[in-house]
Structure 1
């Protein structure tokens, strides 16, 4: 994957702790039960929700359904064409899918979907850093679209979302803590975290660490605090658009 040109202009006028503009549109797929397209700067994600009338063996007989997530990058989502992800053993993809699944299961009360499996597909249309955190928010928006449709149709009688989800990347580039890294910044970061929070500011997951050289615990906490604040700000923007 090629580094994007002109790293010095990467922030494009943003302050160090300012995220890129977030734009989301719901109901973009005619066929999916729920869908959303989300753009975070130049990173763009299409998320769809499908419902299957079955559950995996470990959920059978329980009073709740199941949720799983799939993640993929399209060949020209990057500057140079990448091969289609036909290898089911792709480690990075599986790591991101597990992250997404855990986050969405925190957000949704699956007792409203007994004997059903929700599959959230997050496809990267264009990548410029932060694809996994953008996928969290796109997938949440698609879930919101699904639930809104089903409540209005009378399929669901109660609102099943327990908490909205916000997410952001934060990193140490040089000596600066920067929020919402684009690709050129992420490639130079000494440390970076992906932070996912709920609507009341609680942490769902923190993923990441140092690159090449360990950092002090105090600096890690500073990164985490910046991430929690930034994820909350992006979530507020997302909520306004839903």
Structure 2
């Protein structure tokens, strides 16, 4: 099945990762899934939130923030002041949960990692692009801490990436753009690790219920699509711009 942009049903959009995209953050990337573009940065601060100060064993913390810049969509979106919208809060919690699933925070006590994901152009899949890029930004930051001796052991236990998969007329479509997302019968976001484990599966039927068999088909399609992405992430974390 050919899609409106010429892709096959199991084909992701072109992926591009530009590492060290900004100057001051400990880790940063520009990540593009087709026309969706997200800047992801990782900042590192000493100290942890108050609820962790007396934790046993001592541990660090990781949190995430997400926003869509006003010019990222066809109609200007308003800046989220004084607090993020419900959608943005839900997405930044998803990013935080996903990345905390592959970091051992007891190996980085007294450090707080903040991942900022700012969408500069949106064409569907902004949350999955944010997760995929945030991991690379974090790995760049962690590698710097290891080289400087501020960390004695690597707290990252795995790699993580994400992709959206949808159903339309019973066909499974990988990596939906906005046009496909807005007309899909089902849109599911799949977050998984390089070792093949799933961290989160978010799915909502838009027009009709879906079966267990369809869920398994979607998970298999997501796994096949993401396997090459992990190699690109690691290449980018080593400082090389990569494209698929």
The two structures have a TM-score, normalised by structure 1, of 0.91
Which of the numbers 137, 140, 143 marks the counterpart of 2:138?
Answer: 143
Say whether the 8 Å CA contact 2:64–2:93 is kept in structure 1.
yes
Answer yes or no: is 1:92 the counterpart of 2:97.
Answer: no
Which of the numbers 4, 7, 25 marks the counterpart of 1:14?
Answer: 7
Moved more, 58-67 or 85-94: 85-94
SS at match of 1:166: strand
Which stretches in structure 2 are left out of the alignment for 5+ residues?
Answer: 238-244
Which of the numbers 214, 235, 238 marks the counterpart of 2:233?
Answer: 238
Other-structure match for 1:161: 156
Which stretches in structure 1 are left out of the alignment for 5+ residues?
Answer: 1-8
Moved more, 19-28 or 150-159: 150-159
Cα RMSD for the two superposed structures: 1.6
Other-structure match for 1:101: 96
Shift of 1:103: 0.8
Answer yes or no: is 1:49 the counterpart of 2:42.
Answer: yes
Answer yes or no: is 1:211 the counterpart of 2:206.
Answer: yes
Q: How many residues are treated as equivalent by the alignment?
A: 234
Shift of 1:31: 1.2
Shift of 1:118: 1.1
SS at match of 1:134: helix
Offset from partner CA, 1:68-104 (integer Å, 9 cap, x none): 1000000111112111122525211111111111111
Say whether the 8 Å CA contact 1:22–1:238 is kept in structure 2.
no
Moved more, 111-120 or 121-130: 111-120
Which of the numbers 16, 29, 37 marks the counterpart of 1:23?
Answer: 16
| In 1: Cα distance, 2:178 partner to 2:112 partner | 34
Other-structure match for 2:28: 35
Say whether the 8 Å CA contact 1:10–1:182 is kept in structure 2.
no
The two structures have a TM-score, normalised by structure 2, of 0.90
